[in-house]
Amino acid sequence: MSVYLSKKCFLVTTLFLVSINLKAQKLKFLVPDAAVVQYAGSIGTASAGISYDLFKNKRGNLDLLYGYVTERKGGAFSTLTTKFNYRPFVIKAGKNLIIYPINPGAFISYTVNKDFDLTWDRGQYPKGYYYWSEALRLHLAFSGEVKIKTLTLFKNDQLKSVSVYYEINTNDVYLINYVQNKRYLHITEIFKAGIGIRVSF
């Protein structure tokens, strides 16, 4: 191989590696900031997924979750959830302990099952007879979270923090049913609860 050809191959390889590095930096936002595991809470018997920090102060997060409902709990079917949470209040309980007491949130869940359709069969029911979707649910939620900063506590560069949280939520159908049936439905019956762990890296 000639010196000219060797230099050309070296230049092409270098440019290729530089372009890959630049693309990786541009796509860095796709890399999640945390992993989430949750038990119950309207999105499955158990669910897991990834989380992205939002805003410069990292007070918000966007979660993408896959959940599964077992046959014993009314399934079997899966759920896909997109969740947004915001942490307006912060309590620093120590150097490595942070408490977020009240976090408002909202999320959309979609049930993946052959018996759940996005819309009702128009041929079977009159228009407007059922005003909600079988598969798609809109939720309002609030939660509380306790975060331990493992980065400084254990001097671990790979793990920044571990959080434990609870969440209470309701959805569009529950709220409408409650408004229309206040005499027969107690407000506590329209809320569901879940607990979870968030690991930031």
What is the pLDDT, as a whole number, of residue 71? Answer: 84
At 90 the three-state DSSP class reads coil
What is the pLDDT, as a whole number, of residue 113? Answer: 83
The sign of the dihedral angle between the CA atoms of 87, 90, 95, 97 is: negative
Fold of 32-200: Porin (2.40.160)
- With vertex at residue 105, the alpha carbon angle to CA 103 and CA 107, rounded to the nearest 5 degrees, is 155
Report how far apart, in Å, the C-alpha atoms of 13 and of each of 19, 84, 119 are. Answer: 10, 42, 53
Phi, psi of 93 (to 5 degrees): -95, 10
What is the pLDDT, as a whole number, of residue 24? Answer: 53
pTM, rounded to two decimals: 0.81
Q: What is the pLDDT of residues 123-155, one digit of tens each?
A: 665 565 566 788 899 999 999 999 999 877 676
What is the pLDDT, as a whole number, of residue 5? Answer: 46
What is the pLDDT, as a whole number, of residue 101? Answer: 97
Taking only the tens of pLDDT, the chain with its 201 residues reads 454 445 555 555 665 555 555 555 666 777 899 999 999 999 999 999 999 999 988 899 999 999 999 888 777 899 999 999 999 999 999 888 999 999 999 999 999 988 777 665 656 655 655 667 888 999 999 999 999 998 776 766 778 999 999 999 999 999 999 999 988 889 999 999 999 999 998
Phi, psi of 127 (to 5 degrees): -60, 130
CA distance 41 to 36: 13
